[in-house]
Structure 1
Amino acid sequence: MYSSKNHPKTHSFDLVGEYKNTIKTIEELEQFIPLTAEERETLQKVVDIHPMAITPYYLSLIDPEDPEDPIRKLVVPSADELSNLGSYDPSGESENTKQSGLQHKYEQTALILTTKQCMAYCRFCFRKRFVGVADNEILRDIKAARNYVQKHTEITNVLLSGGDPLSMGNEWVERYLEAFMSIDHVDYVRIGTRVPVVLPQRISEDGELQELFSRYSTPDKRLHIVTHFNHPKEITPESIRAIDTLYACGVPVHNQTVLLKGINDNPDVLADLFNSLVSIGVNPYYLFQCRPVRRVLHFQLTLEEGLTILEEAHKKMSGLAKRFKYAMSHRSGKVEILGSDDDHIYFKYHQAKNPAHSGKFFKVDRMPEACWLDDFPGWKHGNIG
């Protein structure tokens, strides 16, 4: 079993050693979780398509005797992933790519794909098309990306994503921070990362990374971490220590959760998660509708199921805990899912690819089986009321 004693606090964290210890094969997984011969064969077929990676720490959170364990479902492959339904790019990221690894969908935000690697591969990943598989969409030229952002003065913030930027070495993290934090019209930089959840020691025990964050997150221009807790089991003494470390470095922490069937599709679980996040100082940011990604559809709930669960969960949440928005990252924009009545579901463009649509409300006729905006036959882009 994992023990934090395996990681004495040093100035520089052994990231290479963590990669070597990561569970990547079915044979390694079977040392911790019992599998039948049929499961072994099926999971191997999945891993041959979309790789597996689980840190020893995160593996220690799984109950090996419980096939319904939520942490297990988040990172251990399943036969459901053999389904080829769905799209590898349902949000139209390819349409917004301005150069390799740089997307500019929303007027004020540049998104940078820094790496294809993560410390743990989430089975519901919306970038399954390349994460852990191929680097053809990754940024190849930091200078060219910086020049693009420098030229486009409407960009006020940069989101470093991937893969997971904190799966890179500190020298690479600094290259990205130096490139974009130094642009005058960029007010802040965000790092989207699961590291506080799947390998919190990378933050709490890496003095070099802490020094880096402290240096770049200043009172007049903050570095922000957007992390990704999906279940209360992920909130542990180790993850709390990582969050506390980030705040000590002057780095605010926000959270985005994906609503996932069989993992957090329960009002009590969601309320516990968001209330606990507020308790440890993490700002609830988004609850995302699971995207219709190929080999991920088994995690999707219908929009009506999501609204029902959320309505009940809200009753159990504090005011601070319910600040997040329930939204979908649609091809046309970030669409907030507001609610429903007897006849309609109501939406609002929280952000829109077309700036003229930002803030606009629209409605569609209810359709109980709809999981995504495109499932409604009466909806089309621009049909805004």
Structure 2
Amino acid sequence: MKNNISKIEQLEQYILFTPQEKKKIKKVIKSHPMLINQYYMDLINWNDLDDPIRKMIIPSSEENRFEGSFDTSGEQENTKLRGLQHKYSNTVLILTTNSCMAYCRHCFRKRLVGIVADEIVKDWKLVVKYICDHKEITNVLLSGGDPLMLANDRIAGILQKFSNIQHLKFIRIGTRIPVVCPDRIANDDELINIFRKYSCEKKRLYIVTQFNHPREITSSSIKAIKKLNNAHIIVNNQTVLLKGVNDNPVVMAELQNKLTEIGVVPYYVFQCRPVKKLKNIFQVSLYKAFNIIEETRAMLDGFSKRFRFVMSHKTGKIEIIGRKNDNLYFKYHQAKDELLANKIFHKKLNKSDCWLDL
């Protein structure tokens, strides 16, 4: 942690800023902190101004723009207790921390990561009681921030609490640690033993990570994934479609193929959300995004194309399933209102539309 980069002055050994650029980026960092660990910094090709890793982690002066929303998926309205969201009947999402090993510039929780802890769980007894009182809940998603920023004893304690709730069938941990700091997993046998202990036949443990570019798959990340697989952990991946990072079918296909090769299940590709201070930097129009995904799938075998291309909308997870002329076809993969579950609909959009207005 001591070599982490959090100030623009530390970046000046890599990037030459004009005084005006420096002033603008300082303003960005004041609102949305920068944090980059040395491992992830070393993945950047500093000779390439358009390097995709650089774009995901280095602040841009464009983050000073205010279009969009800080809550595009309705997290506030789905919060039942501090730190607990219940949007879909059988799933609860728990915000365990507001910390990450590295602060991604495309983060959809820019409102809280590295800033405030007001939305993070404070009373775990209330969380456990809520889940016990709602027998329809079959699974828990631990999120944040990054849950693997917590100390091992805290992770074990959380898993222990849920292991005794009979109607819970599985637990997911959403983490980018295998991508940005794989040694946290690869070199920590205590953590692996905790995972092995709590991932059993009656209550399976899943890791859901986020690889967005093939260059994030390194010998270190492969070692971390292997450690997880050997501990009977199934690893799924949620890629975000990002302009200037992976909005190219060849790049996206290479990513999904490599993930399958190393033992990671391609789970979702997400349309980038219209989050304030990032939508203008990372969003691709829905028409273009659909074409990218279709061209990607044409290059993949059946296993590598298992992912669904979805947007995490306030009304649910909406899959983009087809196009006919100017109409895009959609299906509710998950719906907040259960009456909308599996509903198929179509809309004619403007060429520049990046999100659905429903």
User: TM-score normalized by structure 2?
Assistant: 0.98
CA contact (8 A) 1:115 1:138 kept: yes
Q: Which residues of 2 match residues 1-385 of structure 1 at below 5 A?
A: 18=1, 20-297=2-279, 298-374=281-357, 380=358
Question: 2-side partners of 1:366 and 1:68: how far apart?
Answer: 29
CA contact 1:143–1:179 (8 Å) conserved in 2: no
**Where in structure 1 are there 5+ consecutive unaligned residues?**
1-17, 375-379, 381-385
CA distance in 1, matches of 2:88, 2:144: 18
Partners of 1:251 and 1:28 lie apart in 2 by 37
Counterpart AA for 1:332: T
Shift of residue 167, structure 1, vs aligned partner: 0.9
Separation in structure 2 between the aligned mates of residue 296 and residue 313 of structure 1, nearest angstrom: 24
Residues 303-342 of structure 1, C-alpha deviations (whole Å, 9 max, x = no match): 0000111111111111111110000000000000112101
How far is the alpha carbon of 1:292 from its aligned partner?
Answer: 0.4
Shift of 1:29: 2.1
In 2, Cα distance between the equivalents of 1:106 and 1:335?
13
CA distances 1:4-49 after superposition (whole Å, capped 9, x unpaired): xxxxxxxxxxxxxx3x332111112223444343332222111011
- Looking at structure 2, the residues matched to 147 and 54 of structure 1 have their Cα atoms a distance apart, in angstroms, of 37
Alpha-carbon shift at residue 179 of structure 1 (Å): 1.4
Q: Aligned partners of 2:183 and 2:43: how far apart in 1?
A: 15
Question: How far has the Cα of 1:370 moved from its partner?
Answer: 1.2
CA–CA distance in structure 2, aligned partners of residues 332 and 274 of structure 1: 27
Task: Judge conservation of contact 1:120–1:198 (CA < 8 Å) in 2.
Answer: yes
Task: Kindly provide the amino acid, as one letter, of the partner of residue 162 in structure 1.
Answer: G
How many Å separate the matches in 2 of 1:224 and 1:282? 11
SS of match in other structure, 1:373: coil
Q: CA-atom RMSD, angstroms?
A: 1.0
Regions of 4+ moved over 4 Å = none
Q: Name the CA distance, whole Å, in 2 between partners of 1:285 and 1:29.
A: 34
CA distance, structure 2, for counterparts of residue 33 and residue 249 of structure 1: 41
Q: Return the offset for 1:160.
A: 0.1
CA contact (8 A) 1:230 1:264 kept: yes
Tell me how far apart the structure 2 counterparts of residues 168 and 66 of structure 1 sit (CA, whole Å).
Answer: 34
Q: How many residues of Structure 1 are paired with residues of Structure 2 in the alignment?
A: 357
